[in-house]
Chains A and B, each alone.
Chain A
Amino acid sequence: MAQKPVLVVEDDPIIAGVICRSLAAWGHPSLHALTGREALALEREGAVGAIILDRMLPDIGGIEILSQWRASGCNIPVLMLSALGSVQDRVEGLKAGADDYLTKPFDDAELEARLAAICRRNLRKGDDLAVGRLRLDNAAHRAFLGDAGIDLNRKQFSMLAYLMRHADRVVTRAMLLENVWGYAFDPATNIVESNLSRLRGRLQALGCDAVETLRGEGYVLRSAKCGA
């Protein structure tokens, strides 16, 4: 994320205050708009790096503002916030051009991780991912550290691939559920924890202990620990 400020479009002063304070704590400057009209004006001035957009605003709805921006060719990363949490609402938000959709109430750690993920556009793509000496073989569902390899089951493989694409970034439990499992519901169970501990066990067998748990925040794959 560059030094361009994050535009926070939120009509609730308490929630907006907390978001702006959190952004400041992470070292991001922020701009605050209370209404849709203000948001449109601030964006037109140009100097915005990312946008956190509430869906329900007193004047113009978040979806409409976003559609206007996308129609006019604006491709600033947008994270949509909403008190509407159904699958349908999420699909609507993403269809309108949001890069991610976060349902209220949310953790500040979740907000930071998702904001970081959408701002980092140059994610590693492709079949065979590599971070340091750690390498994934897509066809064989195997992970290699140098020449040593292990088999992974489908879930372990997808989790490792997602962590490697977001290497050195925090990945939250909800992000893994959405992207590895494709679950739109909160399973209220230890799915991520249990499966991740299996994955970590497999990686340790390979001599690589690169996945770190950040309590209350999520997980990070440290590229420095992937064998230089």
Chain B
Amino acid sequence: MRGLTFLAQPRIGRLAGQFGLAFALAMAGAGALLYWQARAQIDDEVETSLRREQARILVPGAPQDTAAIARRLNALTGGRVISDKGHMLFAADGRAIWGRIEMAPPPPGFADVSFRDGRPDWREGHALTARLPDGARLVIIEHSEAVENIHAMLPRTALILVIISVVVGGGAAWLFSALIAQRLARTMAAADALARGDLSRRIPDAGLDGVFAQQVAGLNRMIERMADMVHSQRQFASHLAHDLRTPLTRLRALLQADREHTDAAGRQLLERAERECRSIIAIFDALLRLSEIEAGRHPTAMAPLPLAPIIEDVAETMEPVIADAGSRLELGALFPATIRGDVGLVHQLLVNLLDNVALHTPAQTCATIGLSQTGTEAVITIADNGPGIAEAQRDRVMQPFERGTASNRPGSGLGLAIADAIMRFHDGSLELADNGPGLAVRLRFPLLRAGMATF
């Protein structure tokens, strides 16, 4: 289920945002570089043209005093407005001698200036100033129209750039992440299925290439190897149990045969040997059963299963057993919940757990079995007021061949391990809890939806 949710809504997290931001920064950097270059280019052209204009006025070899330059300016402009350049002559004391442009006299060389030439607003310009031999200054000004245009365009261009980079960068990042998430989702779905025990599951590699295909192939090789190991381990357990049945049959046959030719002491010995033989067989049967359930080899007819009638049936069967042990079994409230399950396994589960009450609690214990329902689960609770199991021991007693502290009790030591395997087989869980006092065993089954339980 988790895998499916993942597939439907790929969780991309902050990745798209981070990519969008990085993209926007890169675009802003590129924009700044472009602006800086365009500006340098324009400045260069303006300065070349100013230098050319200055050379036209300060002709080498011609007189360079203020009056001569003023004359030359008069001659060049002839009273007409020429080009987009303005000319000014300032006396050494900063007083304007020639020209009608309002401005502060700039220092020699190139400078950015503000000026006003009859219009009400101040404008920006680039000026080239030359100091004449008599201390006066010749200023040539060019209105920086191109630069002003760029400056006027700048906020809008920057905004467009940012929007484009965030949208394109974020979108591309989202798409990229979504594709990766989708590929990961397939891996996750397979991993979940494997975790649930479906060892035949592999990660699909259709449509993958490059590092993704390599990764899937690598993971699948690993799964293959692990499935082989699990399989051979299971095979080993069940072959061992099967192969020991024949010698055990012989052993028992030999122990039973010809007993009449033995004296009383010998017969007693034979009977004891046979009892031991019987308990070995019981352990092997339980072990075999455990490996069968865990391998899912049980020829299961999974079907909608109302739990209440099964609980009533098992309680009816086990009540005399618990009563014979000196204790009591009571039937609690039974909520009519239906699960999807194997009827034989659920019977074994409940018999095993109620048998634990008969075997592992002292006389006068009172046990209750009940059935309740949460939003998604059917919960069978078997609670008793016996000595319980210490919290530190609860995990341990679920392991095969582990028992509680009262380890001298009979039994294969596989009862709880089998119960746990049966719960896992049903995608449920077995939980040991404190009943204050006593033990509460909670069996949580995924509930079959009401609409599917048709009878």
Contacts and interface: CB of A to CB of B under 8 A. Distances in A.
Interface of A: 12, 14-15, 17-18, 21, 83-88, 91, 103-108, 153-155, 181-191, 193-195, 197-198
16 contacts: A12-B246, A83-B246, A85-B245, A87-B298, A105-B245, A105-B252, A105-B277, A105-B281, A183-B347, A185-B289, A185-B348, A187-B351, A189-B321, A191-B318, A193-B324, A197-B320
Nearest to B351: A187
| 3 tightest Cβ-Cβ pairs between the two chains A and B | A105-B249, A18-B253, A194-B320
B256 A18 contact: yes
Interface in B309-327: 313, 316-318, 320-321, 323-324
Given A188-B411, A189-B351, 7 more contacts: A15-B253, A83-B242, A84-B242, A187-B355, A190-B358, A195-B321, A198-B320
Interface string B232-269: 00000000001101101111111011000000000000
Contacts of B249: 12, 15, 83, 104-106
Contacts of A85: 245, 285, 288
A189 B320 contact: no
A190 B321 contact: yes
Interface residues of B, number: 42
A14 B249 CA distance: 9
A194 B245 contact: no
A192 B204 CA distance: 52
B286 interface: yes
B403 to A, nearest CB: 14
A189 B357 CA distance: 11
A14 B323 CA distance: 43
B354 to A, nearest CB: 9
Nearest to A92: B299
Contacts of B277: 105
Contacts of A185: 289, 344, 348
Contact of A14 (B253, B286, B313): B253
B257 A21 contact: yes
Contacts of A12: 246, 249-250
A182 B245 CA distance: 23
Contact of A104 (B246, B318, B324, B411): B246
Contacts of B352: 187
Contacts of B316: 153-155
Nearest to A194: B320
B100 to A, nearest CB: 112
Contact of B297 (A15, A83, A88, A197): A88
Contacts of A21: 257
Contacts of B323: 194
B402 interface: no
A85 B285 CA distance: 8
A181 B253 contact: no
B248 A105 contact: yes
A24 B49 CA distance: 132
Given A86-B288, A185-B289, A188-B412, A15 B317 contact: no
A18 B257 contact: yes
Given A183-B344, A185-B348, A91 B320 contact: no
Given A183-B344, A191-B351, A194-B323, A86 B253 contact: no
Nearest to A195: B320
A88 B342 CA distance: 14
Nearest to B289: A185
Contacts of B358: 189-190
Nearest to B277: A105
Nearest to B356: A189
Contact of A186 (B285, B313, B344): B285
Contacts of B347: 181, 183
Contact of B324 (A87, A155, A188, A194): A194
A84 B239 CA distance: 10
A17 to B, nearest CB: 8
